[in-house]
Amino acid sequence: MKDPNVHVRRLISEGTRPRLPWGMRLPAFVHNPAPVIALLEALKDDTSEYVRRSVANNLNDIAKDHPDLVAEIAHDWMARASDERKKLIRHALRTLIKQGHPEALKALGYGPPQVALDHLKIETAKVAFGTPLTFHMSLSATGDQEQKLVIDYVIHHQKANGTTSPKMFKWKNINLKPPEALKATRNHPIRKITTRTYYPGPHHLEIFINGISYAYQTFELTMD
């Protein structure tokens, strides 16, 4: 960890990544990342961003199997963190933030929201394949302090067997000051893509604010 060669220090982190994209998966570290975390702890404030970036990528790998553990590490590392370490943590939490993990969001300052979702409307209650799902909402602050909000939405896609599969999408990151309100509209494309097969029938829209579900509505997808 104190080797003067930056490439050696990076190798310590990069070579212990449990899910290294260009190398073999390391099942022992997937199951128990404790030995890896001890190494990352020693490297988290390395003088080289090249090394710190690798530390973040390693933590992101670990988060795929141990999300709560990585969120807890992020909380601990944020204490007295330099700007460089904060950047590392944000990059390390990218998968968890995309998933709306509440404790990961909290580590970055997104606490329990003090808001009211005053209005949510799906304008296209019946969506023809190839056209967008259009919805809009209005949101108001219920507290008396400025707060950081990350607003996401989930589409629960219909599957061939009649069940649904959720997919989260990023929407907005804002600072909301009382008595401000937010009005927002979204056009979500529903069209042919290589990573998903669409099926007709009821689908669902769910709104999340700082990882907490606030609303759930249904729309119909047609393949005409």
Residue 217: Cβ-neighbour burial (10 angstroms; 0-12, 13-18, 19+): middle
Question: What percentage of the chain exceeds 70 in pLDDT?
Answer: 100
Domains (ranges, CATH) in the chain?
Answer: 6-107 (1.25.40.290), 115-222 (2.60.40.10)
Angle at CA of residue 62, ends 59 and 67, nearest 5°: 100
Mean pLDDT of the chain: 94
Q: What is the pLDDT of residue 43?
A: 97
Tell me the pLDDT tens digit for each residue of 3-44: 889 999 999 999 999 988 777 889 999 999 999 999 999 999
Confidence of residue 1 (pLDDT cuts 50, 70, 90): low
Confidence of residue 2 (pLDDT cuts 50, 70, 90): confident
User: What phi-psi label fits residue 134: left (phi over 0), alpha (psi between -120 and 50 degrees) or beta?
Assistant: beta
Q: What is the pLDDT of residue 143?
A: 87
pLDDT beyond 70 at 80: yes
Confidence of residue 100 (pLDDT cuts 50, 70, 90): confident
**Residue whose tokens read 């929407």:** 171
Buried b (16+ CB within 10 A) or exposed e, 188-198: eebeeeeeeeb
**How far is residue 13's CA from residue 55's CA, in Å, rounded to a whole number?**
6
**What is the pTM for the complete model shown?**
0.79
Task: Determine the average pLDDT of the residues in 113-119.
Answer: 94
**How far is residue 75's CA from residue 106's CA, in Å, rounded to a whole number?**
8
Q: What is the pLDDT of residue 18?
A: 94
